[in-house]
Amino acid sequence: MSSGLLEWLKGRREAKIITMLRDHARKVYDCVLELEKVIKLFSDGKISEAKLGIKRISEIESEADSIRKRIMTLLTEGTLSSAYREDLAHLTKRLDSVANFANAAARRLSLLDENIIISDAEFKKKILKMMEDVVKCVGKMYEMVIRLGKEPVERIIEYADAVDRLEHVVDESHMDVRRYLVKMSWDQLKTPFNAITLHTFIECIESIADFSEDTAEFVRIVAIKVR
C-alpha cells in the first residue's frame, strides 16, 4: 500500500491526516488496553481502582473522538480525490467504533453487581481469556494501521489476515463465555437487570474484535485497490 498511499499524501495537510490517523489508532488501542486492566481489577475485587479505570476509558474515548472529528475536518479541506477522502473517512469511523464499544463495555461493567464476577472463579477465568484474545486482535489491527504508508501492500494484507484469524479466536472464547452464562443460576445473577447487563457487557467486548476485523478488512480492500 505504501506507494499508493504516499502518492495520496504528498501535500502538507494530507501528511498531517495520516499522522492523526495513527494517533487516533493509538487512542483506540489504549481504550482496549485500559478495559483489560479494568476487568482484571474488577475481578480481583479492586472496585475503586476499577471505577477510576472506567473513567479513564471514557476520557480516552473522548480524546479519540476529538481526533476523529479533526481528521474529518481536514479531509473536507484537503486536495485528495473524493474516492481517497471517502476511504480515509470510512477507516476513521471504523476505528472509532472499536473505542466506542470498549467504552460501552466499561459502562456496562460499572452497572453490574460486582459479586457476579468476583465470586465465580470459572467465569472470571473465561471472561479474562476472552479479553486477552480481544487485546491481541486489536493490537494486530493497530500495528496494521500505523504501518500504512510505511510497508508494502503484501505486508499490510498479511496484517489483515492475522486480524481475521485472531477475530476467529475471539469468536471461540466468546461462545465459551456464552455457554457458561446460560448455566448461571438466578441465585448468582439475582435480578433480570444483572442478567441483561452481563449479556450486553459480553457482546460489547465481542464487538470490539468484530470492528477490528471490519477495519482490517476495509484496509485490505483499499490496499488491493491502490496496488
Dump pLDDT digits (tens) for 110-138.
Answer: 998 888 888 888 999 999 999 999 999 99
User: Which residues, 6+ apart, have CB-to-CB distance to 153 below 8 Å?
Assistant: 1, 2, 4, 223, 224, 226, 227
How much is the pLDDT for 2? 42
CB atoms within 10 A of CB 52: 12
Q: Which amino acid is at 210?
A: D
Query: Where do the domains of the chain lie?
Result: 2-226
How much is the pLDDT for 3? 44
3-state secondary structure 197-211: HHHHHHHHHHHHHHH
Report the alpha-carbon distance of residue 222 to residue 227 in Å, rounded: 9
How much is the pLDDT for 6? 46
**Which architecture, in CATH terms, is 2-226?**
Up-down Bundle (1.20)
Burial-class residue 122 by CB neighbours within 10 Å (0-12, 13-18, 19+).
exposed
Cα dihedral angle (71, 67, 161, 86), rounded to 10 degrees?
-20
From 110, 104, 109, 103, select the one nearest 58 (Cα to Cα).
103
List, for residues 204-219, the tens digit of each pLDDT value.
999 999 999 999 998 8
How much is the pLDDT for 78? 63
Report the alpha-carbon distance of residue 145 to residue 5 in Å, rounded: 12
How much is the pLDDT for 88? 84
pLDDT-flagged residues of the chain (< 70): 1-15, 78-81, 83, 225-227
